[in-house]
Structures are given as C-alpha cells and as structure tokens.
Amino acid sequence: MQQQTIFIHAGFPKTATTFLQKHVFPQLSGITYSGRNYPVEERVEDDTKLSKSFRVTRSMDEQERARLRDLGATLLGRSKAASQNSVFFSGEGIIGQCMAPIPNPHDKNKPYASPTARQALEHARDMGLEGGFASPKLILTLRKQTDLLTSFFAEAYGGRLARVPQTDTFEKYADEVMSGSLGLLDTVVLEFDKLYDLSCEIFGAKNVLLLDYGSIKGDPPRFAERFSNFLGVDAGEFLDLLTSKGEENVRRSKSGKSQLKMRRKTAVSKLDDLKARFFPKRSLGIGRLLAPFLKKFESGETSFVPPEAKLEEIRAHYAASNRRLAARFPEFDLPC
C-alpha cells in the first residue's frame, strides 16, 4: 500500500487564510482537506475543531503530546476513508500561537511564554510522523512584517494581547516580538530567513514550500502554480478557485492601511476567566448558552493607528533578514 502524505499549512495568520480555507482548499480534487472550513451554507464544526486542537506550549506534557498523536491518526483515517494518498491540514494557528503570549487566568493573567517556532514546527512534524504519515510537508505563506504585526495585533488584541500588560499596546507588543527581552515571544518567528532555515532543518528542504502573500493578488498564476505543484493537484483548478471570488481574499487585511479595526474584548472573555479560575476542569455548558448574548457587550478600543515611527523601526529591524531571504527568493515582496 502506498504511504500516506500529510501537507501542513502552518500559517502565517493574516495571509488570506480564511479565503483559502473557505473557497480553495476544500474544493481541490485529489486531496483530502482537513482544517478550518467555512462552507457557504454551513460552517463545518468538526474540521474547525480539528484545526483548533493543534495547541503547543513551551512545556508539553504527555497528555498534550498524546492529543497531537490522536490528531495525526484522525487525519490519517480521514485520508484513507476518502481513498486518497494525501491529506491537507490547514491551521494557521501553528505559527500564529507563537505570536502572542498566553494569559493565565489563575494568576491575574500573568502570561505564559508562547511556544517557540522550533517547538511549533517540531510538534507539527511529529504529529504527522506519529500519526502514521510519511515525510510530512510544510507550507508557509509570508507577508511584510509590518502588515503581519499590525493586522495580528488588531485581531488578537481582545483575546490575548489586551489581557497581558506587557503587550497591551502596539509599541510594547512590537518591541517584544523584535527583541524577546521579556522571554514571552520567540524572535525567530518573523526573521524569515532563520524561520526558513529552521523549517528545512526540521522537515527537510524538499518538504518545505515558502509562498509570498503579495502574489495571491499580484500574481495569482504564480501562486497557484507553486502551491498546486507542491500538492500534486491541478494548477488550473487551483487558479480558478483562487480567482473566483474577486477581492474577498484581501477584504480584511489590506496592506498600508492607516487605521485598523480592533477585535474588542467581549463579556465572553470575562466568563472564560471566571470559569478557568473557579471551575478549571469542568465543562458547564454555560458559555455555549450565553455566548451569543455576551458577545454583544464589548469593551476596549475600536481601532488603532500604527505609529509610523514604530513601523519604520520594524522595517529597519527586519531589513537584513529580508535581504538574506531575497537572495534565495528574489520574487518575494518584502522590504529590505
């Protein structure tokens, strides 16, 4: 029997992942898609739960490792059930979880450090290998660091960043991403040349595909060709799916916006904090019942304007890394 292959789309967040997960990945012929799924008619909860179940911490215990092994085995079973030789797993949170510290509700939201890039990628590889796949393959889509940081800050503000004093402003968040001086975030995550070398070390160079977010809109045929060739699917079908929805793929993450809409805190996060503090190991079902009502109560800033001086500092900080990557991928649109 031919061995099964797993393709792991690990991020980055804010690189048109919602569009691809909704309109492209689930529709591809010849491959079993599992991960976040947003069908037009109805959201597929099982696939979404699968993508969210990939969680890594800096100190993984055996129970957490077993959960990842079970995830790999589930993905293998899905591929075999569909009589396919490969499965495509899309979970931008694999890299995304490295970009924000984890507030601890048991200790006044004192933050846990996020996992390092090495930990996230090694556990992604091991999920595939221990699940029964041969030679797991990795896909990463890169985007300008200024755009990634501003968009991610706006998206993650209400859920994590606002609850951690060390990252509750954009300036403090960007400083920690660049320096790692507080030990909360891994600086390698946005040093793209180092991240690529690390990915090749863990997965093997032939098993890593690096893509440029700018080409989704700027050069769709090139993006579709590189992606589909790596997956072994039809490039024409991929391109048709990629271009079928016009501008939707950049509707929420346009480059160079002077003002970004914030994802605000809701009363749901307060309920989550209370549950974690008083009933950490019980599933009460209260959140599912009250969430639609509690989401209506928001607090915090509605938008923010990234300071131009900080954006220039970010560009200067990553220029050398981008130059080194551009020597290998001159077609990428990264400031250097």
Confidence at residue 253, expressed as pLDDT on a 0 to 100 scale: 42
**pLDDT, tens digit, 9 for 90 and up, residues 80-113:** 888 888 899 998 889 999 999 887 666 666 788 8
- Residue 160, in any domain of the structure: no
Domain count, the chain: 1
Confidence at residue 254, expressed as pLDDT on a 0 to 100 scale: 46
Angle at 117 between CA 233 and CA 180, to 5 degrees: 145
- What range defines the domain where residue 216 resides? 5-145+184-251
- Residue 292, in any domain of the structure: no
Residue 68 maps to which CATH number? 3.40.50
When pLDDT is averaged across residues 252-265 and rounded to a whole number, the result is: 51
- Residue 285, in any domain of the structure: no
Q: Could you tell me which residues come within 8 angstroms of residue 222 by beta carbon, excluding any fewer than 6 positions away?
A: 215, 331
When pLDDT is averaged across residues 278-283 and rounded to a whole number, the result is: 62
- Pairing, β 265-266 against β 260-261: unpaired
Give, in order, the Cα–Cα distances in Å from 234 to each of 36, 64, 178, 298.
Answer: 22, 37, 39, 45
**pLDDT, tens digit, 9 for 90 and up, residues 191-232:** 999 999 999 999 999 999 999 999 998 999 999 999 999 999
pTM of the complete model beyond 0.85: no
Q: Residue 189 forms beta bridges with which residues?
A: none
- Residue 237, in any domain of the structure: yes
- Residue 195, in any domain of the structure: yes
